[in-house]
Amino acid sequence: MNRRRRRSNPIRIILLVVLVGVGLYVNQVVVPATPPLFVPTPTPTRSPESFAVEAKQFAVEGKMAQAILSYEEAVQSDPKNANNYVELARLQVYAGKYAEAVTSAENALLLNPNHSMASALRGWALSYMEEYLPAEAAFKRALEIDPNNAAAYAYQAEMLASQVSANLGDLGTLDKAVAASRMAQQIDPNLMETRRARGIVLELTGNYAEAAAEFEAAVAINPNLADLHLALGRNYRQLEDYARAIEEFNRANALNPADPLPDTYIARTYVTVGEYGKAIQYAEQAVKDAAADPYMWGNLGTMYYRNQQFNEALNPLALAVKGGRTPEGVEVQGLPLDYGRIAEYYYLYGLAAARTGECGVALPIAQALMEGVPDDQISVDNADAMITICQEIADGTYQLAGEEDGEEGAEGEEGESDMTTTPESADITPTP
């Protein structure tokens, strides 16, 4: 039997088409326009002021790297604010980023050519780059803008002290440094920079007790600046208060563990009091912190030599004097002969070589000392000692290292020459 085919209902077809159309509209138009129910709240944009406040707090805590990053954020958020560039420049100087500090100060001056602190900080940074003429011009401009800028006088005093320490400038440079430090303190005795500058000048003139008092005052204002503790420790060391010196060096070390200078000072202090094992330990740590620095190798060799470990002293002192590669493959540039600490590395290297029978090394060093630093009596005396030892070796009358009973040469006591000619290990003019 044939079943009759059901006819399509036109109304149903129309309704179906309508429903499909509505579905497509909702899916493609309505739903995308409806915000999701659980969208994360956008992070609000931070104000430049908040970055600046954060940076100041980091600086107070001695966290220079974090403080610099926060001021960089403040600058990016508000590139028209000259003061943020100024504060950034100040911290960059303390962090040893002198070229960057110059750039930051110049950016501030582009925004405000009459910003006295920007000009002063530019001069301060330039002085650490040994660009003394433009630095002096920057200080002059800063004081023309604001004759009562105590920090400008303080930075100027530091620069002049640095020149004196490096045997630069004329006979009046020291007097100018003294005058600038006094003027800074007269204008604002409660500013950390004025206390610091006055301390540096007093240290330079050998007034260690007064210098220590100034650095104590600076520390009271900012207790978390490693450089201030280094300076305080140096002056306690000069006053032969070795326990307090080591305490201050350790504080500097805690604030800036990557800096080799605190370990270097600790090593030299321990060797002065005869604790050679501790001296070597800290000197080794300084080398780890700055493996490419010839001064650190020279210091390590000095510690070995003072402990009469002449064979162990040879390689570190050779790296300081001649340069070469460390056992780890780090390239070290040797130090050209000069007065001060460098001369010490040379004559200790020569003495260590002579005492271990390496007269082919010792005798050329003796000649170099006599010709290169003829006015340094200690170096000349030690050159004579090298020659004498090598003559005795040739005569068969000298016992090589390890065979003699505590023979002493002409090198003198450690600590006779604490002044250096470079910022890396300077006992007078510190890096900030």
Please say if the pLDDT value at position 61 is more than 80.
Answer: no
* 200 in Cβ contact with 423 (< 8 Å): no
Q: Which amino acid is residue 14, in one-letter code?
A: I
Residue with tokens 């000392």: 369
Q: What is the pLDDT of residue 260?
A: 95
Q: Which amino acid is residue 236, in one-letter code?
A: Y
CATH of the domain at 299: 1.25.40
Q: Looking at the structure, do residues 142 and 192 belong to the same domain, yes or no?
A: no
Q: Looking at the structure, do residues 305 and 426 belong to the same domain, yes or no?
A: yes
Domain count, the chain: 3
* 132 in Cβ contact with 163 (< 8 Å): yes
Q: Looking at the structure, do residues 298 and 410 belong to the same domain, yes or no?
A: yes
The lowest-confidence range among 132-136, 151-155, 171-175, 180-184 is 171-175
The three-class DSSP label of residue 170 is coil
Q: Indicate whether 6 belongs to any domain.
A: no
When pLDDT is cut at 50, 70 and 90, the band that residue 429 belongs to is very low
The three-class DSSP label of residue 41 is coil
- CA torsion sign for 310, 312, 317, 322 is positive
When pLDDT is cut at 50, 70 and 90, the band that residue 204 belongs to is very high
Paired tokens of 96: 């040893």
Q: How many residues can be counted in the chain?
A: 432
CATH of the domain at 199: 1.25.40.10
Nearest C-alpha neighbor of 102 from the set 141, 143, 146, 138: 138
Q: Looking at the structure, do residues 121 and 171 belong to the same domain, yes or no?
A: no
**pLDDT mean over 211-234:** 96
Distance CA 227, CA 9 (A): 95
* 382 in Cβ contact with 410 (< 8 Å): yes
When pLDDT is cut at 50, 70 and 90, the band that residue 400 belongs to is confident
Q: Looking at the structure, do residues 324 and 428 belong to the same domain, yes or no?
A: yes
Q: Indicate whether 17 belongs to any domain.
A: no
Please say if the pLDDT value at position 315 is more than 70.
Answer: yes
Nearest C-alpha neighbor of 86 from the set 36, 46, 120, 53: 120
Q: Mark which of 104, 128, 146 sits at the end of a domain.
A: 146
When pLDDT is cut at 50, 70 and 90, the band that residue 414 belongs to is very low
The lowest-confidence range among 65-79, 291-305, 363-377, 403-417 is 403-417
Q: Looking at the structure, do residues 121 and 201 belong to the same domain, yes or no?
A: no
Q: Indicate whether 33 belongs to any domain.
A: no
Q: What is the pLDDT of residue 8?
A: 46
Distance CA 295, CA 298 (A): 5
Strands 323-325 and 331-333: antiparallel
Residue 85 lies in domain: 47-146
**pLDDT mean over 384-413:** 75
* 91 in Cβ contact with 64 (< 8 Å): yes
Please tell me which residue, 11 or 64, carries the higher pLDDT value: 64
Paired tokens of 331: 């390239």
* 316 in Cβ contact with 297 (< 8 Å): yes
Q: Looking at the structure, do residues 54 and 179 belong to the same domain, yes or no?
A: no
Per cent of the chain over pLDDT 90 is: 70
When pLDDT is cut at 50, 70 and 90, the band that residue 5 belongs to is very low
Nearest C-alpha neighbor of 357 from the set 392, 400, 396: 400
Q: Indicate whether 16 belongs to any domain.
A: no
Q: Looking at the structure, do residues 302 and 419 belong to the same domain, yes or no?
A: yes
Nearest C-alpha neighbor of 160 from the set 201, 211, 216: 201
Q: What is the pLDDT of residue 422?
A: 31
Q: Mark which of 223, 247, 270 sits at the end of a domain.
A: 223
Q: Indicate whether 249 belongs to any domain.
A: no
> How confident is the model over 328-379, as pLDDT tens digits?
999 999 999 999 999 999 999 999 999 999 999 999 999 999 999 999 999 9
Q: CA triplet 238, 242, 243: central angle to 5 degrees?
A: 145
Q: Looking at the structure, do residues 51 and 61 belong to the same domain, yes or no?
A: yes
